[in-house]
Copies of this chain bind each other. A is one copy, B any other.
């Protein structure tokens, strides 16, 4: 039995955070404290910097959409590379803000690289003030589940207070995916009550279904986990950070997939894609060619169910707060093709 597993990362992080910051009440403050420590380490930064699709996406986005003379806020600058690229592109001024101690590293690197016109500000973005508005908000606040780094709250707050009318958020257009998948048989882990191992039957445990929401999610970066999507993938939510507010996000989504790959449904892969141009986008989907490798993805697990080609999976996702994965709930309804004249007629 392995000491370290992918799965319980979330639990362990929450345990550490709950413990370290037991005196702090709000989820925002808790995440902010966690985040400030998490991104202060070199390894997290290395993974983001070594992610070539990610870095090429940002290089091209900055080259195409930041104009010489622009005033820019780089929200969560990390090691400062996006601020540096904006400066080299000709930005008149870049405010590179971060509340993690990594900001000292960013200062060191900017000096070593001869970067000018970047002001490093050690603060959380919600505390950042300026006497006049800026032309561009630059950010990389996307979490594995798009929303889990408080992107919508943080970017829309800066936008409303500090972005000029008509100013640019880079990136702003997002597609959120929640695709029914089958996991490869050798990697599939059923719920414990679905197991029978060499004649030892676990079904008696169904009555002990855990209440911990985390139990129903698998975190992974292992692309080999996913065998296929059951249907044709399509975004179930799209948003533009120029206009969206957290309060405007829906709390319930219902969507359907017509099954093209028959067989077992193991859960839903959660991932995102962001677009800045028709030919410039960045995706974290497990089956995306050229996906940005440092993002993981989440699988929302389902009870054992099997589908035939032409069946329709109707998925209902409800969300308390998008940034808090523990508030997500999901279930599905199976519409068997043969059983449903309406579906048969349109198939």
Interface residues of A (CB under 8 A from B): 1-13, 15-16, 19-20, 35, 38-39, 41-50, 52, 55, 59, 76, 78-79, 81, 84-85, 88, 105, 108-109, 112-113, 140-145, 148-149, 186-192, 195, 197-205, 208, 210, 215, 219-224, 293-296, 298
Contact = CB atoms under 8 A, between A and B. Distances in A.
B210 A42 contact: yes
21 contacts: A1-B39, A1-B140, A2-B144, A4-B10, A5-B44, A5-B221, A12-B13, A12-B15, A41-B210, A41-B215, A42-B192, A42-B205, A43-B189, A50-B195, A52-B186, A109-B201, A109-B202, A112-B201, A113-B200, A186-B293, A220-B222
A278 to B, nearest CB: 22
A99 to B, nearest CB: 14
B215 A48 contact: no
Contacts of A3: 35, 38, 143-145, 148-149
Contacts of A19: 16, 19-20
A85 to B, nearest CB: 6
B221 A190 contact: no
Contacts of A105: 205, 208
B85 A198 contact: yes
Given A16-B15, A50-B189, A222-B221, A200 B44 contact: no
Q: Nearest 4 pairs between A and B by C-beta?
A: A112-B204, A222-B222, A19-B19, A16-B16
Count of chain copies = 2
B108 A50 contact: no
Nearest to A294: B2
Most buried by B among A46, A200, A296: A200
B205 A7 contact: no
A16 B12 CA distance: 6
B293 A195 contact: no
A208 B41 CA distance: 11
Nearest to A58: B198
Contacts of A9: 4-6, 8-9, 12
A190 B50 contact: yes
Contacts of A39: 1
A15 B45 CA distance: 20
A195 B12 contact: no
Nearest to A2: B144
Contacts of A13: 4, 12
A19 B15 CA distance: 9
A176 B192 CA distance: 31
A1 B44 contact: yes
Given A1-B39, A16-B12, A210-B42, A201 B6 contact: no
Contacts of A85: 198, 200
